[in-house]
């Protein structure tokens, strides 16, 4: 099939590349000329495991191309994906100006039937708004479809190629047929393509992310309570996760959820409920608890150092909001850095992929090193903010040589408690005994 993807951010690029991989001819359109040129020269603009292989292969075989020219991009496309940003506006509601603007531009160019697919996370009713934009500018028949993405950064290619489910919101049979044909190769194992109306599909995306954010937040609170009552959150996690109704996944406590999706989507769903005069109380609690959770490590440090962090020096392992990404949006590490610096402490950080982005954002507020052990030099303690695999089984002897004190505050529960006791560390993790 012939496909256009408008917007080559994280979602657009993964979508375009993975759609080309099953034989479709994909043109990706972006207004950023420098970025388009780089992609034409074969440079992948984001770090996402597995994406580069597919990206290069499909460019080489002529199935994946890039342009800044919208008219050229959509001319032959049967399906046009819109993967555009929906940043939170000043009031927390998603800002639809990119999507509605692109819809208007496309509407002035179409000459034959096309399916317009909304891949971005958008409030309920957006498909109707996009359809109205088309109605206002063209007589050509168009179907607007909601098709939310459920890609996790770091495993986005796998999530796209083998989705748990594909959700498609449209009541048009013609659009349903084209979309089933397109997604057929991705659900060969029998995972469902779920057709529903546009509004249910739009809400499904917010409900999924908000539910997951709630699940994590619930576990974070259980972890905090574990510390107070002397229970072990690992045991509790396994104890409840074995119940199939709860499930083992997404129960790992930590220092709060971050990233570009959960914080924004929980806020947008709460806002949209408010606008519809519904008081979505649980979401408000989730946001409040998550804010506090981002700085639990700092609270623990303050307690340990009796309220005085002035002149202390900390090593920080992990900056990205989660492993296998260079994304630092809403990363708990940034909140930790902020608090530490405010309290007069200094920080040396290491992250396998996230350092360039942090440097760009906060400059020399902290120091950066290219080696995880180097970060430990003369540090009063090590803080762990992201569970990168390279931190999971470090050389503890080497660490001892450089750390001023054998003190670790771990926001991701990477190490075995018994082992840390044997090694003689003061090891403070989340929801576990000291
Ligand atoms: C999330 C969803 O998982 C995707 O399905 C969705 O498509 C995506 O948002 C989106 O809306 O675009 P992502 O933000 O990439 O994906 O990351 P997750 O792996 O879901 O992690 C989100 C946050 O939860 C991270 O800060 C992570 O550290 C935290 N988390 C996750 C925990 O604290 N504990 C867990 O057990 C799992």
Distance, CA 262 to ligand 1 centroid (Å)?
7
Segment 419-423 long-range contacts (CB within 8 Å, at least 24 positions apart): 423/396
How many angstroms separate the CA atoms of 1 and 79, rounded? 8
Q: What is the pLDDT of residue 377?
A: 96
Burial pattern 339-356, b for ≥16 Cβ within 10 A else e, equals bbeebebbbbbbbbbbbe
Residues with a catalytic annotation lie at 261
How many angstroms separate the CA atoms of 22 and 6, rounded? 19
My answer on whether 245 and 354 are in the same domain is: no
From atom 17 of ligand 1, which residue's Cα is the shortest distance away?
152
DSSP helix/strand/coil, 365 = helix
The CATH number of whichever domain residue 227 belongs to comes to 1.10.1040.10
Find the domain containing 118 and state its range.
Answer: 2-196
Q: Could you tell me which residues come within 8 angstroms of residue 239 by beta carbon, excluding any fewer than 6 positions away?
A: none
Taking residues 3-26, report their average pLDDT: 97
DSSP letter at 352 equals T
My answer on whether 191 and 222 are in the same domain is: no
Widest Cα–Cα separation across the chain = 74
Segment 179-188 long-range contacts (CB within 8 Å, at least 24 positions apart): 179/79, 179/115, 179/117, 179/145, 179/147, 181/1, 182/1, 182/3, 182/19, 182/24, 182/79, 185/22, 185/23, 186/22, 186/160, 186/161, 186/162, 187/163
My answer on whether 333 and 212 are in the same domain is: no
My answer on whether 43 and 181 are in the same domain is: yes
Residue 49, in any domain of the structure:
yes
Q: What percent of the chain has pLDDT over 70?
A: 100
Q: Which atom of ligand 1 is nearest to the CA of 331?
A: 26
Taking residues 39-50, report their average pLDDT: 94
Q: pLDDT tens-digit profile of 82-122?
A: 999 988 777 767 789 999 999 999 999 999 999 999 999 99
DSSP helix/strand/coil, 345 = coil
Taking residues 374-384, report their average pLDDT: 97
Respond yes or no on whether ipTM tops 0.90. Answer: yes
Residue 348, in any domain of the structure:
yes
Task: Kindly list the protein residues whose Cβ atom lies closer than 6 A to any atom of ligand 1.
Answer: 121, 149-153, 209, 212, 216, 250-252, 254, 257-259, 261-262, 321-322
Whole-prediction pTM value? 0.93
My answer on whether 79 and 213 are in the same domain is: no
CA nearest to 11, candidates 203, 149, 159, 155? 149
Q: Which band of pLDDT confidence, cut at 50, 70 and 90, is reported for residue 47?
A: confident
CA nearest to 119, candidates 92, 151, 83? 83
Q: What is the pLDDT of residue 119?
A: 96
How many angstroms separate the CA atoms of 372 and 358, rounded? 16
Q: What is the pLDDT of residue 312?
A: 97
At residue 118, what are phi and psi to the nearest 5 degrees? Answer: -95, 110
Domain end point (choices 178, 196, 214): 196
Q: Which atom of ligand 1 is nearest to the CA of 332?
A: 26
The CATH number of whichever domain residue 85 belongs to comes to 3.40.50.720
Domain end point (choices 267, 292, 317): 292
Residue 434, in any domain of the structure:
no
Q: What is the pLDDT of residue 260?
A: 87
Domain end point (choices 196, 219, 246): 196
Domains in the chain, number: 3
Taking residues 174-188, report their average pLDDT: 97
Both tokens of 30, joined, read 């972006």
Q: Which band of pLDDT confidence, cut at 50, 70 and 90, is reported for residue 135?
A: very high
Q: Which band of pLDDT confidence, cut at 50, 70 and 90, is reported for residue 409?
A: very high
Total residues belonging to the chain: 434
CA nearest to 119, candidates 110, 130, 111, 108? 130
Chain-centre distance for alpha carbon 431: 24
Taking residues 51-66, report their average pLDDT: 97
> Cα angle vertex 393, ends 317, 365, to 5°?
5
My answer on whether 255 and 269 are in the same domain is: yes
User: Which segments are annotated as binding site for NAD(+)?
Assistant: 30, 35, 86, 121, 153, 264, 329
Check: CB of residue 121 under 8 Å from CB of residue 205.
yes
In sequence order, which ranges of 305-347 are alpha helices (DSSP H)? 332-342
DSSP helix/strand/coil, 219 = helix
My answer on whether 131 and 244 are in the same domain is: no
Residue 159, in any domain of the structure:
yes
Residue 170, in any domain of the structure:
yes
My answer on whether 24 and 164 are in the same domain is: yes
Mean pLDDT of the chain: 96
Residue 164: exposure state from Cβ atoms within 10 A (0-12, 13-18, ≥19) = exposed
From atom 12 of ligand 1, which residue's Cα is the shortest distance away?
261
- Choosing from 51, 119, 259 the residue with most ligand 1 atoms within 8 A of its CB, the one to mutate for a pocket test is 259
CA nearest to 191, candidates 160, 170, 163? 163
Residue 433, in any domain of the structure:
no
Taking residues 198-224, report their average pLDDT: 98
My answer on whether 187 and 213 are in the same domain is: no
Q: What percent of the chain has pLDDT over 90?
A: 94
Q: Which atom of ligand 1 is nearest to the CA of 155?
A: 15
At residue 96, what are phi and psi to the nearest 5 degrees? Answer: -95, 10
Burial pattern 132-157, b for ≥16 Cβ within 10 A else e, equals ebbeebeeeebbbbbbbbbbebbebb
Residue 415, in any domain of the structure:
yes
My answer on whether 188 and 246 are in the same domain is: no
My answer on whether 255 and 305 are in the same domain is: no
Residue 201, in any domain of the structure:
no
Assess whether pLDDT exceeds 80 at residue 402. Answer: yes
Q: What is the pLDDT of residue 306?
A: 97
- DSSP annotation string for 43-62: --SS--TTHHHHHHHHHHTT
118: enclosing H helix or E strand: strand 114-118
- Choosing from 163, 164, 212, 385 the residue with most ligand 1 atoms within 8 A of its CB, the one to mutate for a pocket test is 212
My answer on whether 58 and 136 are in the same domain is: yes
Assess whether pLDDT exceeds 80 at residue 52. Answer: yes
């Amino acid at each position: 099939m012939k496909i256009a993807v408008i917007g080559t951010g994280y979602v657009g690029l993964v979508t375009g590349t993975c759609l080309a991989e099953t034989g479709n001819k994909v043109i990706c359109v972006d207004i950023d000329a420098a970025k388009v040129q780089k992609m034409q020269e074969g440079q992948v603009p984001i770090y996402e495991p597995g994406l580069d292989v597919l990206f290069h292969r499909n460019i080489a075989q002529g199935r994946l191309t890039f342009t800044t020219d919208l008219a050229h991009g959509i001319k032959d496309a049967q399906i046009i994906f819109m993967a555009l940003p929906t940043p939170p506006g000043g009031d927390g509601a998603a800002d639809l100006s990119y999507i509605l603007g692109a819809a208007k531009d496309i509407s002035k160019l179409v000459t034959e039937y096309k399916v317009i697919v909304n891949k971005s996370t958008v409030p309920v009713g957006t498909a109707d708004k996009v359809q109205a934009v088309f109605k206002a500018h063209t007589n050509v028949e168009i179907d607007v479809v909601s098709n939310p993405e459920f890609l996790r950064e770091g495993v986005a290619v796998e999530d796209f190629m083998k989705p748990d489910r594909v959700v498609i919101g449209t009541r048009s049979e013609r659009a349903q047929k084209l979309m089933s044909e397109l997604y057929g190769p991705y659900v060969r194992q029998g995972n469902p393509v779920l057709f529903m109306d546009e509004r249910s599909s739009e809400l499904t995306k917010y409900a999924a992310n908000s539910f997951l954010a709630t699940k994590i937040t619930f576990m974070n609170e259980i972890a905090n309570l574990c510390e107070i009552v002397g229970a072990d959150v690992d045991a509790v996690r396994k104890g409840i996760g074995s119940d199939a109704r709860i499930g083992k996944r997404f129960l790992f406590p930590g220092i709060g959820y971050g990233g570009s999706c959960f914080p924004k989507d929980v806020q947008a769903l709460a806002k949209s409920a408010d606008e519809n005069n519904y008081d979505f109380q649980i979401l408000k609690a989730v946001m409040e608890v998550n804010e506090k959770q981002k700085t639990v490590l700092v609270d623990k440090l303050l307690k340990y150092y009796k309220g005085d962090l002035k002149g202390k020096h900390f090593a920080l392992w992990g900056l990205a909001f989660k492993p296998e990404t260079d994304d630092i949006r809403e990363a708990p590490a940034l909140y930790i850095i902020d608090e530490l610096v405010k309290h007069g402490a200094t920080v040396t950080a290491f992250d396998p992929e996230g350092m360039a982005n942090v440097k760009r954002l906060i400059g020399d507020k902290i120091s950066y090193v290219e080696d995880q052990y180097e970060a430990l030099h003369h540090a009063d303690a090590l803080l762990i903010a992201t569970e990168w695999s390279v931190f999971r089984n470090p050389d503890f002897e080497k660490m001892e040589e450089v750390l001023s004190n054998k003190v670790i505050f771990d926001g991701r529960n990477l190490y075995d408690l018994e082992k840390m006791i044997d090694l003689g560390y003061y090891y403070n993790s989340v929801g576990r005994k000291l």
